[in-house]
Amino acid sequence: MSDVSANLTEIQARITKRAKKWGEDPDTVTLIAVSKQQPIDRVEAALKAGHRVYGENRVQEAQGKWPELKEKYDGTELHLIGPLQSNKAKDAVALFDVIQTVDRPKIARALADEMKKSGRNLPVYIQINIGAEDQKAGIDIADADAFIAECRDVYGLDVQGLMCIPPAEEQPAPFFALLGKIAKRNGLSKLSMGMSSDYEIAVQFGASLVRVGTGVFGARG
Ligand X SMILES: *Cc1c(COP(=O)(O)O)cnc(C)c1O
Binding of residue 30 to ligand X (CB under 6 A)? no
Closest CA to 190 of 168, 213, 208: 208
Identified binder of ligand X from the candidate list 5, 26, 30, 36, rule CB under 6 A: 36
- Residue 35 within binding range of ligand X, rule CB under 6 A: no
**Angle 172-46-23 from CA coordinates, rounded to 5°:** 40
Least distance between ligand X and beta carbon 98 (Å):
13
How far apart (Å, rounded) are the C-alpha atoms in residues 142 and 139? 8
Phi/psi region, residue 187 (left: phi>0; alpha: psi -120 to 50; beta: rest), is: left
Report the site for ligand X in 162-181 (rule: CB under 6 A): 165
User: Minimum distance from CB of 215 to ligand X (Å)?
Assistant: 5
Does residue number 131 form part of the binding site for ligand X (CB under 6 A)?
no
**H or E segment at 177?**
helix 173-185
Ranked by CB distance to ligand X, the top (closest) residue is: 213
188 near ligand X, judged by CB under 6 A = no
Residue 6 CA, chain-centre distance (Å), reads 22
Candidates 13-21, 42-50, 108-116, 212-220; binding stretch for ligand X (CB under 6 A) = 212-220
The nearer residue to ligand X, 71 or 134, going by C-beta atoms, is: 134
CB 64 within 8 A of CB 78: no
Q: CB-wise, 206 or 215, nearer to ligand X?
A: 215
Residue 212 near ligand X by CB under 6 A = yes
In this structure, which amino acid lies at residue 171? Q
Q: Is 196 in the site for ligand X (CB under 6 A)?
A: yes
- Which residue from 34, 148, 159, 207 is in contact with ligand X, where contact means CB under 6 A? 34
Q: How far is CA 152 from CA 104, 167, 199, in A?
A: 13, 28, 28
Count of CB atoms situated within 10 Å of the CB of 7: 22
The stretch among 61-69, 112-120, 182-190, 207-215 that binds ligand X (CB under 6 A) is: 207-215
Binding site for ligand X (CB under 6 A): 34, 36, 57, 81-82, 165, 195-196, 211-215
